[in-house]
Amino acid sequence: MRVRFERVTKRFGSHVAADAIDLEIDAGECLVLVGPSGCGKTTVLRLLAGLESADAGRIRIGDRVVNDVPPAERDVAMVFQNYALYPHFSVFDNIAFPLRTRSVARVEIESRVIAAARRLGLDDLLERKPGQLSGGQQQRVALARALVRSPAVYLMDEPLSNLDAQLRRQMRTDLKSLQQELKTTMVYVTHDQAEAMTLGSRVAIMQRGRIVQTGPPLELYRNPSHRFVATFLGSPAMNIVAETPSIDLGVRPEDVELSRTPLGDGWREARVVVVEPMGNETIATVELDGMRVVARGGAEPIARAGDKVWMRFVRERVMYFDRVTGDRVKGATATTQNAVEDTEHN
């Protein structure tokens, strides 16, 4: 079902946790809400679930305004950030819980619980109590408890945060394929930029209670409207260097070229500080004029720490931001870059 936030504000005392949020999530879409700790992600989910009430604005699920609808009647299934399980219930009973409270028939409960458990690799753990599970297994039980239902909307609050890197990576793919299969509207909260890039058909980036930019992940990556968005998406993060007293230059690590020899105009001498071979690529940190720049290169490192190298930014990929507001400055491109090179050559 479609979800809409219309200028929704939530305050805790004088703190504005959600500031005039406008957000539209299409039926069947997975929208990822991403941003640093404390920016208001959980608050937005809790507002949608009905666990917090909005101070201003309207929230709609489908065509219905749900501001005054109690949580149980909103037909949303939420995976909480701290995935509280019932400690005295078995895994089976934890997963079955939302079906029992909705008086689903016994045989149906059994088949749905088993299907959800199988999907999350929990079939052998159904008799255990949460205390006998690892953190990652507990988190999967919490996911299964949401998946066992067929709600109008799934709300997921960092559902993979407790898994090790490999399992997290795999669950990310599984969740995406599951969402594509179920076509249930989903709002997925994370502070992990990789999850944001890969899971959502669209991403909304939050900072201090506000949504800074919303759009398809690649569009935000390639065309950020703000320095915050530019540096939040991508790992290693976009390099930001002082260009002029009022403008910051941003360049992604993959748009920084390194060479053992200068290949023409625009190459500057730098010193390699750190080399991180990743197997499939190499991340190198170089230093020039007291600033550090991170470059992403091929599998084979071209230099070692301490070496002298030549560096160049891929000019068409460079972005500019207002130093104070962080807003993207367009049209400043070639001139400022030329200015740098002119200074170089003088």
From 10-18, 268-276, 290-298, 320-328, give the range in contact with ligand ATP by CB under 6 A.
Answer: 10-18
Backbone angles phi, psi at 93, to 5 degrees: -70, -30
CA 200 → CA 10, 52, 338, distances in Å?
A: 25, 25, 38
Question: Can you tell me the distance from the alpha carbon of 95 to that of 142, in angstroms, rounded to the nearest whole number?
Answer: 7
Work out whether 266 is an interface residue with ligand ATP (CB under 6 A): no
Q: Residues touching ligand ATP: how many (CB under 6 A)?
A: 13
Work out whether 17 is an interface residue with ligand ATP (CB under 6 A): yes
How near is the Cβ of 204 to ligand ATP at its closest, in Å? 12
Q: How would you classify the pairing of strands 256-259 and 76-79?
A: unpaired
From 9-17, 67-75, 163-171, 256-264, give the range in contact with ligand ATP by CB under 6 A.
Answer: 9-17
Q: Which of 23, 32, 34, 43 binds ligand ATP (CB under 6 A)?
A: 43
CA 51 → CA 71, 139, 327, distances in Å?
A: 7, 21, 34
Work out whether 12 is an interface residue with ligand ATP (CB under 6 A): yes
Based on CB atoms, which residue is closest to ligand ATP, 191 or 328? 191
Based on CB atoms, which residue is closest to ligand ATP, 9 or 336? 9
Q: Which of 140, 191, 252, 312 binds ligand ATP (CB under 6 A)?
A: 191
Based on CB atoms, which residue is closest to Mg ion, 79 or 258? 79
Helix or strand run (H / E) with residue 119? helix 106-119
CA 160 → CA 141, 156, 240, distances in Å?
A: 11, 9, 30
Helix or strand run (H / E) with residue 12? strand 3-12
How near is the Cβ of 26 to Mg ion at its closest, in Å? 24
How near is the Cβ of 223 to ligand ATP at its closest, in Å? 24
Judge if the upstream peptide bond of residue 277 is cis by omega within 30 degrees of 0.
no
From 37-45, 138-146, 173-181, 271-279, give the range in contact with ligand ATP by CB under 6 A.
Answer: 37-45
Encode 293-322: b = buried (16+ Cβ within 10 Å), e = exposed. Answer: bbbbbeeebbbeeebebbbbbeeeebbbbe
- Contacts with ligand ATP in 98-117 (CB under 6 A)? none
Instruction: Please give the distance of CA 202 from its chain centroid, rounded to a whole number.
Output: 10
Which residues contribute to the site for Mg ion (CB under 5 A)? 42, 81
Question: Can you tell me the distance from the alpha carbon of 114 to that of 74, in angstroms, rounded to the nearest whole number?
Answer: 26
How near is the Cβ of 37 to ligand ATP at its closest, in Å? 3
Q: Return residues touching ligand ATP (CB under 6 A).
A: 12, 15, 17, 35, 37-43, 81, 191
